[in-house]
Chain A
Amino acid sequence: MMLITCPWCGRRAQTEFSYIDDATARRPNMDSVNEAEHFKFVYERDSRRGVQYELWHHHAGCGKFFKIHRDTITHEIHATSKLSNGFLEGVK
């Protein structure tokens, strides 16, 4: 069982959370995006082997979305944070 620290509620069991998406993915501007860029956003994934930034949802708790810095090889969670802080600065 993974224990995940929700930045709002604290440490809870994995079953209260769900993985949503790559936290570094950015929806392109729909007014100016070309087809190739749009395709990349919808279909392509990094599938990183190692540490990555992810968006998770505390669906059975506070209902908030937040960010996780997690290793896909070991499942180790290095950090979690609220969406509002600069956790992802310098990424991508």
Chain B
Amino acid sequence: MTRYSIFSLARNALSNHQNWPKVWRSPEPKSRYEIVIIGGGGHGLATAYYLAKNHGIKNVAVVEKGWLGGGNTGRNTTIVRSNYGQPGNTLFYEKSMQLWEGLSKDLNYNVMMSHRGVLNLAHNDAQIDAFQRRGNTMRINNIDAEWLSLNQVQVLVPLLNCSSRTRFPVKGGLLQPRAGTARHDAVAWGFARGADKYGIDIIQNCEVTGIDVHAGEVKGVQTTRGPIRATKVATAVAGHTAHLCEMVGMRMPLETHVLQAMVSEPIKPCLNTVVTSGAAHVYISQSDKGELVFGGDLDFYPSYAQRGNFPRIEDVAQNVVSLFPAFGRLRLMRTWGGIMDMSMDGSPIISTSHIKGFFINGGWCYGGFKATPGSGWVYAHTIANDAPHELNIKFALNRFESGALIDESGNGATAKAH
């Protein structure tokens, strides 16, 4: 494998960039591996990478039914942050943030992590209290957080409508300066290249159609490219988690929904941070290509369709325009949807199961992209040791039964409110 550097760039320029080697091999699946990871999104690929890098386990295959990153990894609004308030979440997401900080260098692949900051707008007294409390929790845990007054918000985001006559007047905001955005595809490709370098097989167009379990122990998977035997099988299929777990007879504390996102036509740089509003429920950033990226709520009905309906697009657009009146002059270029593994407390599941050798990674709701490196790190540990890392011990599947929920929003057992 070629190491990417200024020298390899110059060398390849001499042959008009016609001779770059393939970024990863595409081998035929072998009949047996030590570990099969289901799902070639960021989480599955990161898990494979850290299994090899941190635990020396290389007899691993990642099987993906479509193409790498074609699931939520390639469909999300790429916001990366670690501003969580609940024990279990706070330190896990901060670990992930620290991994993001060194990721491009570690992978020798530019994931375009841009620490442009994420600003959560507060619109009323209750939100101010809640955000300041969250900011304090972050700072106690050595995570960066700054409270911004209305004036400071206006200076940071000149195009934001800070007048008192909007639908949701802005009162201030909580800023995490190290947070930001990354390039979704590059994250999948970078981890795939890194895992491939260690000899891990990455197999696309290979759908898992069944999981073999015998006497309480996993034996392998059935795929559209034939059966593959394995000592351990680990899911990393986001919105398909409920469906995959059904194959081993497990009913999950998850509900599958569709979440849409959209981009405007590209324009010159005008927004250099990520702005989110919980009252309007929108999140807005500008991509490196100049498109404004908008996301909002779920469509709020169960769906595996990877596309949503017009009312949500209209709702997001209305909220964007109320915060940024100038954006009303832009045209939307594209909209799309991804299917979301909504958990019943809004927090993820990274867990062993009652089946020996079967592991579950899912329940990411609106926010698993930022977790990609951290999730891979602790999931690899969980699979290698048959026991969780200290950072995902609270993400155990049995927390729903024991009552040790991690419910950031305090909404209880619903898929619709997290």
Contacts and interface: CB of A to CB of B under 8 A. Distances in A.
Interface string A10-21: 000111001100
Contacts of B401: 39, 43
Contacts of B413: 42-43
A47 B309 contact: no
A74 B254 CA distance: 20
Give the interface size class of chain B.
Answer: 20 to 34
A72 B309 contact: no
Majority SS of interface residues in chain A?
mixed
Q: Which of A40, A45, A73 has the most CB of B within 10 A?
A: A45
Contact of B256 (A40, A43, A47): A47
Contacts of B303: 72, 75
B245 to A, nearest CB: 9
Majority SS of interface residues in chain B?
mixed
B252 A73 contact: no
Given A45-B251, A47-B256, A19 B400 contact: no
A17 B279 CA distance: 21
Given A1-B309, A14-B309, A14-B311, A43 B302 contact: no
A14 B312 CA distance: 11
A49 interface: yes
A47 B400 contact: no
A45 B413 CA distance: 11
A31 interface: no
Interface in B264-288: none
13 contacts: A1-B311, A18-B300, A19-B301, A45-B251, A45-B253, A46-B251, A47-B255, A47-B256, A49-B256, A52-B302, A70-B301, A72-B256, A75-B305
Given A39-B400, A43-B401, 18 more contacts: A1-B309, A1-B310, A14-B311, A18-B300, A19-B300, A43-B344, A43-B413, A44-B252, A45-B252, A45-B254, A45-B344, A47-B256, A48-B302, A49-B243, A49-B304, A72-B303, A72-B304, A73-B304
